[in-house]
Amino acid sequence: MPDGSSDHETSTRRDAIKYGGAVIGGGLLAGCIGQSNSASPLTETTANDSSTATKTTEPEVESYSVTMAPTGTVGLDEVPQNVFTILVHHADMVVALGHGDALNAMYSPSNFEGNYDKLLERLNGVSVDWSELYNSWNPDKETLYELDSDLHLADPAYVSTMDAWDTADVEEVQTEIAPWFGNSLSRNHSEPPADWADQYQYYSLWDIFGKVAQVFQEQERYEALSDVKTNLDSAISSSLPASDNRPQTARIMTTPELDTIWTFHMNGPGFIRSHTRPFGVPDALSDVEESSTIDLETLVETDPEVILVENAFARSGDWRAVKKEFHNDPVAGEISAVKNDRVYPLSARYGGPIMNLFQLEMVSKQLYPEQFGEWPDYDGGPYPDFSKGEQLFDHQRVADIIRGDTDA
C-alpha cells in the first residue's frame, strides 16, 4: 500500500484540479487540469445514449473528458496511473485495456485471483499481481487518502449505500482525492439511492467498457476487443437450436453439502446475465425470487436438464465436492441434470469483458455441445486448453490485443 498522509492534505499534483461542475442531487461532475500534453484526441459518441467524450485544448495543456451516468462528466489531463476499484467488472476492464499494473484495490482479490488466473492461463503473456491489492469492500475512507488514487473507478451511487459511507463521504473523496467514475447498478438494473435517482442510467457491460476505454485513452484496444465480442455473438446466435430444443436450465450457487442453494436467473436485464441470457434457454427457476434460497427438494421438483453452479470455477476443491455430492445424494440423483451428468461450473457473475468472453464460450459448450463442442469433465484446474479449432473466439488474438497489438 503506498505511503500517504492521514491529515488529508492534498498532494501537489492535485493543486491544479479544477472542477467542471457542481454537486447536483448527489451527482458529481469533475474536471482535472494538469500539466501533461500526452493525452490523445477524444471525440467519440456512444450510440446508445447522449453522452459524449470531448477534447479541449489550452496552451501547453491537453485535457479530455468522459461522460457516464451516474458520475457525469469527468475531466482528466492524463491517463490514470493509480486506480482504485471495488467490483471486479471494473478491474477486469483495466486489465483488458493493458493497464493492470495501475490497480491498487478491488473487492476480494484472493477470490477473484482464483477465477482470473485460471482464465489468464489461456492468454499468453497476460498476468496480474493480485497480492498487494487492497480489499476494498466497504472501504475505509482513511485508506483512500493513503492510496491517493488518480481515479476511483467505482460507482459513487453504489458506494454511498455501503455501511461506512453516505453521499457526503463520496463527495469528500471526489473533492479531496480524485474523481469517481463507474457504473455498477447496471449489473442487475437495481434501483439507485434517492440522491442519485435523477441521473442514473443503465448500460450494457460493453458500453461501460467503452467509457472506461476512453478514460484510459485505449479506444483501439476497445474496438479490437469489441470486434472479437461481435464475432462471438454472431457465432452463438447463428448456431442456436430452435427454442423447443433448448434445455431447461437452473443457475445456482451452493455449499458443497447442498444444504443451502441460492438461485439466480438465466434471463432478464443487467450484465449479471450477460453470459447466460444470449442462449435463450427456459429458466427452471424463473418463478423463484433472484438470490433467494431453496432446498434440494425444490430443485428436484423443477427437474432442470442442466445445472450451472456459480463461482464453482474458482474454488476447485468445492467444485469437486459439489459434483460428487450431486451424484452421491439419493435425492439429488433424481434430477435429470445429474442423471445425465450435466452439472457444470460457472465463474463469477460480476466479471468484465475478459470473463464475459470466456464464460460465453464456456456456457455455449455446456448447453449446446452438438453445436459448439463439448465442455470437458472439468477437474478444477486452469481453463481448458481448447485447440484453435475448438475455440469460439481467438484466445491468442485477445492476448495480443491486451498486450497492445491491435492489428488484425
What pLDDT score was predicted for residue 318?
Answer: 85
Q: Quick check: helix, strand or coil at residue 335?
A: coil
Distance in angstroms between the alpha carbons of the first and the last residue of the chain: 38
What pLDDT, in 10s, does the model give residues 24-41?
334 443 333 232 333 333
Query: Listing from the earlier edge strand, what are the strands of the sheet with 261-264?
Result: 293-294, 261-264, 249-254, 306-309, 343-345
Question: Which segments of 97-152 does DSSP mark as H helices, in order?
Answer: 109-120, 141-147
Orientation of helix 395-402 relative to helix 219-237, angle to 10°:
160
Strands (DSSP E) found in 41-128:
54-58, 61-68, 72-76, 83-85, 103-106
What pLDDT score was predicted for residue 252?
Answer: 97
Q: Domains for the chain: give ranges and CATH numbers.
A: 12-86+136-217 (no CATH), 240-402 (3.40.50.1980)
What pLDDT score was predicted for residue 62?
Answer: 85
pLDDT digits (tens), the chain, 408 positions? 333 333 333 333 343 333 333 333 344 433 332 323 333 333 333 333 434 444 444 344 489 999 999 999 999 999 999 999 999 999 999 999 999 999 999 999 988 888 899 999 999 999 999 989 999 999 999 999 999 999 999 999 999 999 999 999 999 999 999 999 999 999 999 999 999 999 999 999 999 999 999 999 999 999 999 999 999 999 999 999 999 999 999 999 999 999 999 999 999 999 999 999 999 999 999 999 999 999 999 999 999 999 999 989 887 788 899 999 999 999 999 999 999 999 999 998 889 999 999 999 999 999 999 999 999 988 888 999 999 999 999 999 999 999 999 997
In sequence order, the β-bridge partners of residue 251 are 264, 308
In sequence order, the β-bridge partners of residue 308 are 251, 344
Peptide bond into 70 cis (omega under 30): yes
Grid cell for residue 81: 496511473
* Structural contact between residues 196 and 26, judged by C-beta atoms closer than 8 angstroms: yes
Query: Measured between alpha carbons, how far is 275 from 290 in angstroms, rounded to an integer?
Result: 16
Buried b (16+ CB within 10 A) or exposed e, 333-369: eebbbbeeebbbbbbbbbbbbbbbbbbbbbbbbbbbe
Query: Measured between alpha carbons, how far is 88 from 146 in angstroms, rounded to an integer?
Result: 21
- The H or E element containing residue 178 is none
- Pseudo-torsion of CA 92, 223, 278, 273, nearest 10°? 30
Q: Which amino acid is at 25?
A: G
What pLDDT score was predicted for residue 23?
Answer: 37
Query: Measured between alpha carbons, how far is 186 from 68 in angstroms, rounded to an integer?
Result: 12
pTM (two decimals): 0.86
What pLDDT score was predicted for residue 13?
Answer: 37
- Residue 91 phi, psi (nearest 5): -60, -40
Query: Measured between alpha carbons, how far is 347 from 356 in angstroms, rounded to an integer?
Result: 10
What pLDDT score was predicted for residue 315?
Answer: 79
